[in-house]
Structure 1
Amino acid sequence: MTNPSTLYRGGVLHCPAEPSATALLVRDGRIAWLGVDADAPAADRVVELGGALVTPAFVDAHVHATDTGLVLSGLDLSSVRSAAGLLDAVAVFAAGLPSDAVVLGHGWDESGWVDAALPDAARLDRAAGGRRVYLSQASIHSALVSQALLAACPQVVGLPGFDASGWLRRDAHHVVRAAARAGVTRGQRVAAQRVALARAASLGIASVHECGGPEISDEEDFTGLLGLSGAGLPEVYGYWGELSGAARARELGAVGAGGDLFADGALGSRTAHLSGPYRDGEGCGHGYLSADQVRDHLVDCAAHGVQGGFHAIGDAAIATVLEGFAAAVARLGTDRVRAARHRVEHAEIMSKRLIAGFVEYGIVASMQPAFDRLWGGAGRMYESRLGLDRAWESNPMGAMHSVGVALALGSDSPVTPMDPWGSVRAAAAHHNPAQRMSVRAAFAAHTRGGWRAVHLDNEGVIAKGAPATFAVWDTPAGAERGLPVLQAEDPEARGPQDPTPLPVCRATVLRGEVIYEEGVS
C-alpha cells in the first residue's frame, strides 16, 4: 500500500533545475513532483508554506553528539571572560549536584580574556566544594581539572601534557577525560545524544557526521548514538578514529575509520603541529602520527573497503599526512586512493603545496567556518598563537574551493555551536577577503558536500525523484534566487559580525518524515 502523500505549496524553492517551482509533492520518502501551485496534483495532506523558503536540509560534517548534549543541558562556559567568572559558574553549577558527582563543563577560551591567567586545581576544588571537576577548553584538546580528579587519576603524573596546576594536555588529558566521562551513566548519555540530535533537527540539519574513537568516546557511546540514527531524529554517519582500525570501524557500523584520528592537537591548546614555532608559547606543537602510520592506515582501509581520514590542523601535521598518502598511492595506485574520498578534518593551516596534495589525492576537507569567525582576524586567538601573517592564511576555504578541493562544512560541536546558516555566512565573510566563498558555494558545501563526503552523491538536492530531505525557513531578511539574504546590502557592513538576521527553521523533513516542526516538541 502506498504511504500517504503530502503536498507542500505556496513556497519559494531552492530548485535551480525548476526555478519557478513553488510546490513539491512527497510520496514514499521521495519528491514525486515539482512545479507551480496551479499544477499541483491531489495529495492526502496539504501543507501551506505561506511564502517560506524550502532548501535542501543541512549536513553537519563534524560533531560530537554526547558532548554537545552534555553542554546543552549542563555547564556551558563559552561566555566566561575571566578566571573569577569561571569559578563563579562552577560554584553555582556544583551547588545543585550530589557531593560525589563530577562537575562537567566545556567551552572556556582564555585567548579572549583580558587577563588570561587560569585558576589552578586547588581553586577549582574550593569552588566545587571538593567535587571532581573536568572543564574542557573550547578545542576539547585540553582541560582544567580539580585536585580531586587528579587524585582519582594518579597515573597521569609524568605523562606527556601533565601539569600540576591542573591544565592538562596530550596523553594526560586523555586519561582524565576518560575518568571524568566514566561518571556519566548510560541513561545520561542517551539523553544527551537525543538533546543534541533534536537541536540539530531544530536548526534544519537532517544528518550529522559523528567523530568518535578510543580517545574521544567509548564503543558503547558510539554504537548507541548510531542506534538513534533516523528514528525521528537526524541520520548519523559515524567515523571511528582508531589507527589501523578499519575492521573494527566496520564492526561498529561506522562509515569510515577516520574523523578524530589525531595527527596532531589543536591551536587553542598549542598542540597543533606547526612548521614554525608558536608566537605565544614554546615549540611547534606535537605530531602524533608518522607518515608510515598514515600509509599503513590507508592501506588497511583499502583492504576493508572503508573510507579513511585524519584530524590534522597544523601545516606540519598535514604535511605528514600527505607524505603518508603519497606512500599509500605507491602501493595502491592513485585511482584507488582518490575513489575512497578519504578525509582530513579541520585543515586549518595550509599552503599552496598542501592544497595541491588535497587535489591530487581527492581528499575531502571537512572544515568549520566558525573557527575563522570566532578566532580569526586581528587581536584574536589565531593571531596570538601564530602572528598576524600566518593567521591571515588560516582556514583557506576559498582557495581550496577555487581549485576543486571537495568541502564538507560543519561545526565540530561543541567546539563551536551547530549553526549552519551562521557557518555559511562565515565562509562568505572570512576575515581574509581572499579566502571568501560565495554564499551559494558555501551552502552547497554544507548540504550536498556533506552527503558526498559519505558517498551519497544523489542526496542534498530538491529534484524530482530525489529523497525528500529538506528544511522550511522563515527568512527575515528576504530571499534571492532560492537562498536567504545573509549579508548586509551595504558592503561596508559585511563581515564576520554582519548584523543581518539569519533564517529561522520552521520544519525539517528527512526522507519524507517530519523530524522537527516549529512549536512541536
Structure 2
Amino acid sequence: MAVTDGVVVWIGQDSVGRALHPDAEVIELDGAFVAPAFVDAHVHATSAGLLLTGLDLTRTSSADELLQQVRDAEGPLVWGHGWDETRWQENRPPTRAEIDEAAGGKTVYLSRIDVHSALVSSDLVTDEARTADGYSEDGPLSRAAHHHVRGTAKAAITSEQRQAAQLAFLRHAASQGIASVHECAGPDISGEDDLRELLAHTEGPEVMAYWGAHELPDVPVRGLAGDHFVDGAIGSRTAALTEPYADADTSGALYLDARQIADHLVKCTELGVQAGFHVIGDAGMAAVVEGFAIAEKALGTPELASARHRLEHVEMVTKEQAEKLAGWGVIASVQPLFDAEWGGPDGMYAQRLGAERGVGLNPFSRLAAAGVVLAFGSDTPVTAIDPWAAVKAAVHHKTDGHGVSPRAAFTAHTRGGWRAAGVDDGLTGTLQPGAPATYAVWETGDLVVAGSDARVQRWSTDPRSGVPGLPDLTGPAPVCVRTVLNGRTIYERK
C-alpha cells in the first residue's frame, strides 16, 4: 500500500509498488496485517479518562470491597465509576451512611456502571437534589437528583484534571486501533468547557462532537444528538418500559414525549444538523417511532431520511419498528458489549426484566436485516474500549439469531462509524486508492485453529474476509502495533 499526503494512492503486489514508488519510505510489517481503523461511535471522554486515572469499580465484587476502596482512596474528592450490585452476593449497594463512614470526611461520587445513578456522600446532597425526582434518603440517586449531585461533583474537578483525563483517554483509544471517537456530550453530562477543552487536543483520534440538548452550544458540534435522553437505563430501572420491571414496582422514566421528539427532529432537519436520542426501553422506542412519524408528516419522507438522524443504544426494538427506522434513514449507534456484559438468561437484563423479556435485547440482526445502518461503540466508561471484543460480542450474541456476521460487525465498527457522523463518501473507512490513509496495523502471534486437524498459523489476512481457515473470534484478540489517521501515526507500540 502506498500513501501520499495522507491518502492511499496505490494497493497491489509488492514488487510493483516498489517500482512505482522508488523514493518512498518503506515500512516493513513483518507479517502483521493492515485494516481500516476502528471508530468508537459513542464515548464520554472525560469520564472514561477519570476511570483510567481515578477509582475503577468495574471489578469490585461486593459492597464491602467498594467501601474499602473508598477508605483507601485519596481525597478531597473521590471520583469513582463502575459498581454493579447485580453481580454481588448482597445484591444491594451500600447505604449513604456506609459511604459517609468509609469516606472519613472526603467527598465521594461513585457512578453506577450505566452512569444513570450514583452513590454519593452526604455533603454532595444539596437542597435541590433532595427535592428532585429520583432522590433517595439512603440509596443511590437517579434521574434529576443524580444530575444535581453529578454537577456539584464535576465542579470540584479542575481544568487541569479534566485535560489530563481526556489525554489519558485519547491515548488509550489510539492504542486500541481507534482513529475516531464520537463524543456524546451535553449539559448534564460534561458541559461546554469540557467539550471545548476536548476539541482543542491535537493528539490522538479525531473527535466528532455531539451535544445532547435542544439548543446548539457555543462549541462546534455535528448535531444535537448523542445522549439526548428519551429515557434512562435498565440497570438503574430508569429505561421507560411498557410493562413494569420484574424486580421493582416501576416502569422507568420517560423524559421526552412523541411531540417533543418530533419538534426536535423538525428543528434539526431544518438547521441541517443531525438530531438524535438516547433510547433503551420499549416505551421509549414507541415514543421515538411516534415522534418520527409526526416529523415525517411535517417534513416529508425524503427530507427527513436524508438528514440521517441517529439513535443511541436501541436495545428494545420490534421488527416493524426497525423497518420504519430504516425508511426514515435512521442510523443506530449500538454497543455490542452491553450484551456480553448483561445479556443471556442469567444476566442483568433477565434480572430486571424477567427471563422472557431479558433475552430479547440488542437485536443487531433485526436492525441490519431491516436496512438500518449500524455503528458500533463502547459508551465508555460504561463498557471498555475494546473494539475486537465488541466485534466478537456482536457475532457471538448471547441470544441465538440476534448476532451478525464477522464482516458486518467489522464494517459497523469501521465504516459504520464514519457514516454515523455524516461521512459517507464511499471511501472513508475503507482501504482503496483515493481513501484517507486511516488504518491500524495488527499482530496476532501464533493462534491455534480449532478443529480435528488443529494447527498453528498466523493471521495475516484481511479479517473481514471470512475465508475458511482463518482463526475465528474465539481466539486471542489481535494486538495493535500502529494506528494511523490521515497518514499521521497517532499510536505506535514501543
Superposition TM-score, scaled by structure 2 size: 0.94
Q: 1:125 to 1:298 in 2, by over 3 A?
A: same
Give the corresponding residue for 2:397: 430
* Distance change >3 Å, CA 262–CA 199, structure 1 → 2: same
1:106/1:487 Cα in 2 relative to 1: closer, same or farther (>3 Å)?
A: farther
Identical amino acids, percent of aligned pairs:
48
The answer to whether the 8 Å contact 1:34/1:464 transfers is yes
Q: Matched residues in 1 for 2:476 and 2:170: separation?
A: 24
Quote the offset at 1:357 in angstroms.
2.0
* 1:200 and 2:167 aligned: no
Aligned to 1:368: 335
Matched, 1:104 2:76: no
In structure 1, what is the equivalent of residue 485 of structure 2? 510
What is the CA–CA distance in structure 1 between the aligned matches of 2:312 and 2:460, rounded to whole Å? 32
Cα distance change on mapping 1:201 and 1:157 into 2, 3 Å: same
Contact 2:395 2:406 in 1 (8 A): yes
2:309 pairs with 1:342? yes
Say which of 125, 134, 137 aligns to 1:161: 134
Q: 1:154 offset after TM fit, Å?
A: 2.2
Q: Aligned ranges for residues 240-389 of structure 1 at < 5 Å?
A: 240-243=211-214, 245=215, 248-249=216-217, 251-389=218-356
How many angstroms does 1:400 deviate by? 1.0
Question: Is this contact kept in 2: 1:56–1:471, CA < 8 A?
Answer: yes
* Kept after mapping to 2: 8 A contact 1:162/1:168: yes
| Equivalent of residue 159 in structure 2, options 175, 181, 186 | 186
Q: How many residues of Structure 1 are paired with residues of Structure 2 in the alignment?
A: 478
TM-aligned CA deviation for residue 60 of structure 1: 0.1
Equivalent runs, 1:51-90 vs 2, <5 Å: 51-90=31-70
Q: Deviations over 1:216-275 (max 9, x none)?
A: 1110101211222xx2310000110112x2xx24x4210010100000000010000011
Contact 1:425-1:486 at 8 Å conserved across structures: no
Q: Distance in 1 between matches of 2:467 and 2:139?
A: 43
Q: Secondary structure at the match of 2:368?
A: helix
Give the whole-Å Cα distance in 2 for the aligned partners of 1:112 and 1:259.
28
Q: Is the 8 A contact 1:25 1:43 kept in 2?
A: no
Structure 1: tracts of 5 or more residues without a match: 1-23
Q: How big is each residue's C-alpha offset from its partner over 1:407-447, in whole Å with a ceiling of 9 and x where there is no partner?
A: 00000000001110000000000001211111110000000
CA shift in 2, pair 1:481/1:54, >3 Å: closer
1:118 aligns to 2:93 (yes or no): yes
> Does the CA-based 8 Å contact 1:238-1:253 persist in structure 2?
yes
Match of 1:136 among 87, 90, 111: 111
Offset at residue 490 of structure 1 (A): 13
Contact 1:274 1:315 in 2 (8 A): yes
Q: 2:439 aligns with which of 470, 473, 485?
A: 470
The CA deviation string for residues 144-177 of structure 1, in whole angstroms up to 9 with x for no partner, is 0112222xx1221121100011410000000000
Question: Match for 2:430: what amino acid?
Answer: V
Structure 1: how far apart are the matches of 2:173 and 2:379?
13
> Does structure 1 conserve the Cα–Cα contact (< 8 Å) formed by 2:279 and 2:313?
yes
CA contact (8 A) 1:232 1:513 kept: no
Aligned-pair distance for 1:499?
Answer: 5.0
Counterpart AA for 2:105: G
Q: What's the offset of the Cα at 1:88?
A: 0.9
Specify the SS of the correspondent of 1:270. Answer: coil
> Residue 216 in 1 paired to residue 189 in 2?
yes
Write the distance in 1 (CA, Å) between the matches of 2:419 and 2:470. Answer: 35
Matched residues in 2 for 1:66 and 1:486: separation? Answer: 36
Secondary structure of residue in 2 paired with 1:423: helix
- Which residue is 2:455 aligned to? none
Pick the aligned partner of 1:460 from 391, 405, 429: 429
Task: Please tell me whether the aligned partners of residues 479 and 485 of structure 1 are also in contact (alpha carbons under 8 angstroms).
Answer: no
**Aligned-residue offset at 1:479:** 2.8
CA contact (8 A) 1:484 1:503 kept: no
| Equivalent residue in structure 1 for 2:475, among 493, 500, 512 | 500
The list of structure 1 runs, each at least 4 consecutive aligned residues, that deviate by more than 4 angstroms after superposition, is 484-491
Find the aligned partners of 2:296 and 2:416 in 1 and give their Cα distance: 24
* 2:392 counterpart letter in structure 1: R
Q: Residue 259 of structure 1 aligns to a residue in which SS?
A: coil
Find the aligned partners of 2:368 and 2:341 in 1 and give their Cα distance.
Answer: 21
With over 3 angstroms needed to count, the CA separation of the structure-2 counterparts of 1:486 and 1:505, relative to structure 1, is: farther
Q: Residues of 2 paired with 1:319 and 1:240: CA distance?
A: 23
| 1:411 counterpart residue number | 378
Give me the whole-angstrom Cα distance separating, in 2, the residues matched to 1:147 and 1:68: 25
2:451 corresponds in structure 1 to: none
Tell me if structure 2 keeps the 8 A contact 1:210–1:238.
yes
* Paired residue type of 2:361: S
Deviation at 1:289, TM superposition (A): 0.3
Q: Does 1:170 align with 2:139?
A: no
Q: Structure 1 CA distance, aligned partners of 2:199 and 2:320?
A: 37
**Are 1:237 and 2:208 an aligned pair?**
yes
Structure 1 stretch displaced more, 136-145 or 475-484: 475-484
Distance in 1 of aligned mates of 2:400 and 2:204: 37
* Mapped partners of 2:331, 2:163: distance in 1: 30
CA distance in 2 between counterparts of 1:480 and 1:44 reads 23
Deviations 1:308-348 (A, max 9, x none): 00000001101101111111111111011111110110000
SS in 1 for 2:481: strand
User: Residue 227 of structure 1 is aligned with which of 183, 200, 206?
Assistant: 200
Q: Could you state the TM-score of these two structures normalised by the residue count of structure 1? A: 0.89
Note the C-alpha offset of 1:117.
Answer: 2.1
Task: Summarize the Cα distance change of 1:37–1:408 in structure 2 as closer, same or farther, 3 Å threshold.
Answer: same
> Relative to structure 2, which stretch is displaced further, 67-76 or 121-130?
121-130
Partners in 1 of 2:192 and 2:479 — Cα distance? 35
1-structure distance, mates of 2:141, 2:491: 39
